[in-house]
Amino acid sequence: MTKKKLYIDLFAGCGGLSLGLHNAGWEGLFAIEKSPDAFATLEHNLISKKKHFNWPDWLPTQSHDINEILEVYEDNLISLRGSVSLVAGGPPCQGFSMAGRRNESDERNDLINSYIKFVELVQPDLIFFENVRGFTMEFKKNKEKGIAYSELVLKNLRSHGYIVKGKLINFSEFGVPQKRTRFILVGMKGDLPKASQEAVDHFFDDLEISKYSFLKDKNLSLINTVEDAISDLLQSNGLVDSIDSPNFKSAKYGLIKSKYQRYSRKNIRSYVPDSHRLAKHQDSTVSKFKYILELTENRRNLDISNEIRETYNIKKHTIIPLCGNNCSPTITTLPDDYIHYKEPRILTVREYARLQSFPDWYQFRGKYTTGGKSRTKEVPRYSQIGNAIPPLFAEQAGLGLKNLIS
Query: Counting Cβ atoms within 10 Å, is residue 401 exposed (0-12), middle (13-18) or buried (19+)?
Result: buried
Distance separating the N- and C-terminal Cα atoms of the chain = 13
**323 a catalytic residue:** no
Looking at 14, 93, 323, 327, which residue is catalytic?
A: 93
- β-pairing, 86-89 with 6-10? parallel
| Conformation bin of residue 238: beta by default, left when phi > 0, alpha when psi is -120 to 50 | left
List phi, psi (to 5°) of 232: -95, 5
Residues counted in the chain: 406
Torsion of CA 321, 326, 331, 337, to 10 degrees: 0
Q: Could you count the other beta carbons within 10 Å of the beta carbon of residue 354? A: 29
Active site residues: 93
